[in-house]
Amino acid sequence: MKNLIKNKNNIIIFAITIAVYVLIMILVNAGLLSRQMTSIIVPVCVNVMLAVSLCLIVGFLGELTLGHASFMSIGAYTGALITMNLTTLPVPVAFAIAIIAGGLVAGLFGILIGVPVLRLKGDYLAIVTLGFGEIIKSIINSLTVTGGAAGLSNIPKYSTYKQFTLIYIIMVLMILLIANLVNSRHGRAISSIRDNYIAAEATGIPVSRFKVTAFVISAVFAGIAGVIYAHNVGILKPGNFDYNKSIEILVMVVLGGMGNIKGSIIAAVILTLLPEVLRGLDDYRMLMYAVVLIAMMIFNNSAFKARLLEKKNLKSSEKEVE
């Protein structure tokens, strides 16, 4: 029965994925979207990637990190420098190399920061990762190769709405990889660390190894999102990746529900589109944005309590049957 329900849910998710892609392509090709909304299609995908990748750490591992934007910046600058210097190669090859290199370099920094820092917990980890983000921003700001405070410009635009199909495929693959990881044996080990750190360690789970693994995977995906972001906007500045960006990604994860991949996706889409939708309200735009955020959190909390009550009733029914 469980397998039947699972297969049915998978079919529904697959159908929704295809339907969303087809709908967006129809709207774009028919010219029904404004220039403003067309330009935000790729940023929506980028924010979904960032939210889902951070969900692995915050939602499933249970660790609070405030330096996710730093991994995005590492991937963005790495990918931009590669494509700007590999102009002789065909565009697909140069962009593929940039995506791979951006993810790997971000993952390398994930190892360097993850091994010593993940010994910390809670607020201490949050403060250290926040500091790491500021260090990366300062380094980028001082290097000549990154353009310093002026940043990089004239980055080839390889990931605009015209390449939406490729970006959408990358986003879907990323979501599938994280979803499969979470539902795998390793994913259950990661979730057990969140539920009870001491019990997980006592049962023989290599806690440090799984924490670093989750941290590095999240960093790699944030780096890939950064590469796509860089080749969409065409201009990079260190200020684009400050702690405000990390907080913005964290809000998407929290708003979507801790450990809820589907919720993180929905929250990322809403919070990316909302400022553009409310742009016509001028001075009241941020006020309405805050009101919508509060309303969504209240609704999310009520839905969470309803799910808990439903699970409790289901367990009670199962015990009565037995």
User: How would you write the pLDDT of the chain (322 residues) with one tens digit per residue?
Assistant: 555 555 667 788 888 889 999 999 998 888 888 888 888 999 999 999 999 999 999 988 888 888 899 999 999 999 999 999 888 889 899 999 999 999 999 999 999 888 888 777 777 888 888 888 888 888 998 888 888 888 888 899 998 888 999 999 999 999 999 999 998 888 888 888 888 878 888 888 888 888 899 999 999 999 999 999 999 998 998 888 888 888 889 888 888 877 888 888 988 998 888 877 777 666 666 777 777 777 777 776 666 566 656 656 655 555 554 5
pLDDT of residue 310: 64
Q: Residue 236 pairs with which residues in a beta bridge?
A: 152
CA neighbor of 210 nearest in space, from 184, 242, 245 = 184
pLDDT of residue 227: 95
Buried b (16+ CB within 10 A) or exposed e, 190-220: bbbbbeeeeebeeeebebeebbbbbbbbbbb
- In eight-state DSSP terms, residue 143 is -
**Pair 60, 233: CB distance under 8 Å:** no
What DSSP letter does each residue of 4-66 carry, written as one string?
HHHHHHHHHHHHHHHHHHHHHHHHHHTT-S-HHHHHTHHHHHHHHHHHHHHHIIIIII----S
CA neighbor of 56 nearest in space, from 207, 203, 206, 221 = 221
Element (H, E) at 96: helix 91-117
What percent of the chain is helix, strand and coil (3-state, nearest 5)? Answer: 85, 0, 15
Q: Which tokens go with 182?
A: 């979470």
**Pair 89, 257: CB distance under 8 Å:** no
Q: Which tokens go with 136?
A: 């990366």
AA letter at 164: F
CA neighbor of 171 nearest in space, from 76, 270, 48 = 48
257/224 Cα distance (integer angstroms): 24
Provide the CA 278 distance to its chain's centre, in angstroms.
23
AA letter at 112: L
pLDDT of residue 313: 61
**Pair 103, 224: CB distance under 8 Å:** yes
93/83 Cα distance (integer angstroms): 10
CA neighbor of 67 nearest in space, from 219, 270, 220 = 219
pLDDT of residue 320: 54
Q: Enter the pTM of the model.
A: 0.88
**Residues written for the chain:** 322
